[in-house]
Amino acid sequence: MMRRLGMELGENSYSIFIERGCLSGIGRYISENHRSCRRVAIITDDNVGGLYGRWLEEDISNQGIGKAVISVRPGEASKSLETLKEVYGKLSDMKLTREDLILTFGGGVVGDLGGFAAATYLRGIPYIQVPTTLLAQVDSSIGGKVAVDLPWGKNLVGSFYQPKAVFIDRELLKTLDRRHLHDGLAEVIKYGFIKDKALLQELEGCRDDDDLLRKIDSVIFRCCSIKKELVEKDEKDLGCRMLLNFGHTFGHAVEKYFGYEKYTHGEAVSIGMAHITRASEKMGITENGTAAYLEKLLGKFGLPIQPPEMDRAALEETMLLDKKSSGGSISLVLLRRAGDAFIEKIDQTEIGRFI
């Protein structure tokens, strides 16, 4: 069954296609919707490119469109200015123009890096997101946040640059290892806790990962629908879109503290959501039992819920460098109860109370 969501953002509107097998419709989509496109730069990573790259390349070539593949090393280390420079070099070598197209084909790292290259090369090249991990399918590929990391923190150089379309094909999840499937589930659980209690009940009812995968299209659709609603209301992340950052302020700091190696993004967000909810429940902000429910669901999918030993001062410093911090205050996302979140602006000096 084909599900389509329209992201309505005026002249930056686009479709999100959620359909099993839709990967093989991309070439035709490009030739029908981007008639002046002569070349496509496929930005991918060595794992995804090796598994599915040829298939996508053929699909594009079959339409008589030229293509080149730019493959980066898998992992967060590639979301760097150094890798970005290599990408710019390859885009220049292939003489890509603003009539052409970039296609990001991979997880969050590839989508963020490739999307930022698209936003900035020649002051903007149209691009299509084809996310291949659950995390990218439910979150990072939609909404136009693109970025690279700096040594000082995650996503510190970036832009809001909306794709022209997003293709979500659950067939690509078949080769995703369990750890990375669960990584994406942390974001799914996040959506449930901020806005959709019924989604949590659906996850509770899943017998195992295979059962979950059978229902994954509807789970992805629900997550993307929530994100669509928030992005349409607040594209530039100044208000309600910040709800999507539940668990992320602490999570980003944990990721960075361990050099992006010990925890995946979803695992760090899982620790962040559990940690802040335990704190807010103790303060009487969050309904009793919410933290235990959150921990139960995260634990069911093998996600970590306790922070490891960390130096508190270093952690606080990283949290304050986060983009959610501004003018002496920081916006934290807290739960009233499961399915109901709000944004609390606190003074930076108060952050210690929540960690």
Which of 222, 241, 252, 256 is close enough to bind ligand GLY by CB under 6 A?
Answer: 241
User: Residue by residue, what is the 3-state secondary structure of 283-324?
Assistant: CCCCCCCHHHHHHHHHHHCCCCCCCCCCCHHHHHHHHHHCCC
Residues facing 127 on adjacent strands: 102
- Regarding 244 and contact with ligand GLY (CB under 6 A), the answer is yes
- Tell me whether residue 70 or residue 273 sits nearer to ligand GLY (CB atom): 273
- Tell me whether residue 187 or residue 281 sits nearer to ligand GLY (CB atom): 187
- Tell me whether residue 104 or residue 140 sits nearer to ligand GLY (CB atom): 140
CB of 210 to ligand GLY, least distance (A): 27
- Tell me whether residue 52 or residue 193 sits nearer to ligand GLY (CB atom): 193
Q: Which residue is nearest to ligand GLY (CB)?
A: 244
- Regarding 252 and contact with ligand GLY (CB under 6 A), the answer is no
Which 132-171 residues touch ligand GLY, going by CB under 6 A? 139-140, 143, 145
Distance from C-alpha of 72 to C-alpha of 109, rounded to nearest angstrom: 10
CB of 145 to ligand GLY, least distance (A): 4
- Regarding 251 and contact with ligand GLY (CB under 6 A), the answer is no
- Tell me whether residue 206 or residue 330 sits nearer to ligand GLY (CB atom): 330
Count of beta carbons in the 10 Å neighbourhood of residue 95: 10
- Regarding 112 and contact with ligand GLY (CB under 6 A), the answer is no
- Tell me whether residue 100 or residue 139 sits nearer to ligand GLY (CB atom): 139
Q: How far is CA 215 from CA 209, 222, 270, 342, in A?
A: 10, 11, 22, 29
CB of 154 to ligand GLY, least distance (A): 11
For ligand GLY, how many residues bind (rule: CB under 6 A)? Answer: 7
- Tell me whether residue 211 or residue 229 sits nearer to ligand GLY (CB atom): 229
For 136, which DSSP code?
I
CB of 35 to ligand GLY, least distance (A): 30
Helices 178-195 and 216-233, interaxial angle, to 10°?
A: 50
CB of 53 to ligand GLY, least distance (A): 26
State the alpha helices, DSSP H only, in the chain: 26-33, 46-48, 54-61, 81-93, 108-120, 134-135, 178-195, 197-205, 209-214, 216-233, 248-257, 265-282, 290-300, 312-321, 351-354
- Tell me whether residue 143 or residue 339 sits nearer to ligand GLY (CB atom): 143
CB of 50 to ligand GLY, least distance (A): 27
Helices 312-321 and 248-257, interaxial angle, to 10°?
A: 120
Pairing mode, if any, of strands 3-7 and 101-106?
Answer: unpaired
> How is residue 51 written in tokens?
């598994």
Instruction: Please choose, from the candidates 19, 12, 61, the residue with its C-alpha nearest in 3D space to the C-alpha of residue 224.
Output: 19
> How many helical (H) and strand (E) elements, i.e. helices and strands, does the chain have?
15, 12
- Regarding 183 and contact with ligand GLY (CB under 6 A), the answer is no
Q: How far is CA 138 from CA 208, 252, 330, in A?
A: 19, 18, 26
Q: Which stretch binds ligand GLY (CB under 6 A): 188-196, 237-245, 286-294, 312-320?
A: 237-245
CB of 143 to ligand GLY, least distance (A): 4
Distance from C-alpha of 302 to C-alpha of 80, rounded to nearest angstrom: 29
- Regarding 237 and contact with ligand GLY (CB under 6 A), the answer is yes
List residues binding ligand GLY (CB under 6 A).
Answer: 139-140, 143, 145, 237, 241, 244
